[in-house]
């Protein structure tokens, strides 16, 4: 069974806090009733997000159909060398502004379960504006491209992890940004209507202290469709953010513009190992954001 977690930020009254606890408790009871037993949560395919933001199981898992999600992704050549398929190439050395996570046992797919994850399809290079490379700065910068923190500072649902090959192993997402439709509670509307969002991790361990941000971007459906990722949603989410960053943007007197370099070979094309079984094209956007 998945666990519903939340983080409460800012000043809230005891009444608000109690209301949140009661709602989450009710959600947990409904979750127990809705989820069948006999299937390990660590091997299950997560399928969107439920009414309170909790990611739910794929109908394929419930029916026993998990084609394309099994052990095939761990094929080995003789001698133990990994087999690169569907457009993926061996790890890249001597990159500037970021380090290929695969050089040190990481990967460009995050972890939703033990086997499945979502593509890290955007890299913000450490050649970018130093302000953007800080966590505080990233939070402010993304407001210039139409994103912001989660609704009311609350985090619902599954926390993704990623191994960036920097020696820190699998670490939880550091920032989840959602499309900000309008100035007040705009990300709350994204939670209802659906839209674009991303998760971010910083590569800053001793084995690869590049300072780059790695983002997993996607587009999701509205709450009536349990926030399932839309068809082609990983490519669409990435391309939308790239289109925003490569324009001139501003926030509170600071102006930026990004340049993009497209990389192929870092990810395998297709849906093998990808949560929701949604295909993606394997392209990664490496962005350098400059202060104007």
Whole-angstrom Cα distance, residue 174 to residue 180? 18
Question: Are the CB atoms for 229 and 236 separated by under 8 Å?
Answer: no
Whole-angstrom Cα distance, residue 57 to residue 179? 25
Residue with tokens 């199981």: 57
Higher-confidence residue of 259 and 40: namely: 259
Residue 237 has pLDDT above 50, yes or no: yes
The model's pLDDT over 51-89, given as tens digits with 9 standing for 90+, comes to 333 343 343 433 334 333 434 444 444 334 567 999 999
- 270 forms beta bridges with 280
The model's pLDDT over 108-129, given as tens digits with 9 standing for 90+, comes to 999 999 889 999 999 999 999 9
53: left (phi over 0), alpha (psi -120 to 50) or beta: left
Whole-angstrom Cα distance, residue 253 to residue 154? 28
Q: What is the mean pLDDT of residues 240-261?
A: 98
**Greatest mean pLDDT among 24-28, 155-159, 252-256:** 252-256
Question: Are the CB atoms for 192 and 236 separated by under 8 Å?
Answer: no
Question: Are the CB atoms for 166 and 99 separated by under 8 Å?
Answer: yes
The count of other CB atoms within 10 Å of the CB of residue 272 is: 18
Q: pTM of the prediction? A: 0.72
- State the sign of the Cα–Cα–Cα–Cα dihedral 289, 282, 83, 115: positive
> What is the reported pLDDT for 82?
67
Three-state SS string across 210-276, please?
CCCEEEEEEEECCHHHCCCECCCHHHHHHHHHHHHHCCCEEECCEEEEEEEEEECCCCCCECCCEHH
């Amino acid at each position: 069974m998945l666990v519903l977690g939340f983080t409460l930020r800012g000043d809230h009254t005891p009444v608000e806090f109690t209301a949140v606890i009661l709602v989450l408790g009710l959600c947990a009871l409904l979750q127990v009733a809705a989820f069948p037993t006999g299937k390990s949560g660590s091997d299950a395919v997560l399928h969107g997000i439920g009414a309170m933001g909790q990611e739910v199981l794929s109908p394929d898992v419930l029916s026993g159909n998990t084609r394309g999600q099994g052990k095939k992704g761990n094929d080995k050549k003789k001698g133990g060398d990994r087999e690169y398929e569907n457009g993926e190439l061996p790890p890249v050395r001597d990159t500037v502004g970021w380090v290929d996570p695969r050089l040190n046992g990481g990967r460009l797919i995050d972890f939703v379960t033990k086997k499945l994850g979502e593509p890290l399809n955007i890299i913000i290079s450490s050649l970018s504006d130093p302000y953007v490379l800080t966590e505080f700065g990233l939070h402010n910068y993304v407001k210039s491209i139409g994103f912001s923190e989660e609704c009311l500072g609350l985090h619902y649902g599954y926390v993704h992890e990623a191994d960036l090959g920097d020696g820190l192993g699998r670490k939880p997402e550091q920032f989840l940004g959602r499309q900000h439709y309008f100035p007040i509670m705009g990300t709350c509307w994204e939670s209802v209507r659906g839209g674009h969002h991303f998760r971010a991790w910083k590569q800053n361990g001793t084995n690869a202290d590049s300072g780059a941000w790695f983002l997993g971007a996607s587009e999701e459906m509205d709450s009536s469709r349990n926030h399932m990722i839309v068809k082609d949603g990983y490519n669409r989410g990435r391309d939308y953010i790239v289109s925003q960053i490569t324009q001139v943007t501003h926030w509170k007197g600071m102006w930026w513009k990004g340049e993009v370099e497209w990389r192929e070979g870092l990810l395998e094309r297709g849906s093998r190992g990808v949560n929701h079984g949604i295909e993606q094209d394997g392209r990664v956007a490496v962005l350098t954001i400059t202060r104007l």
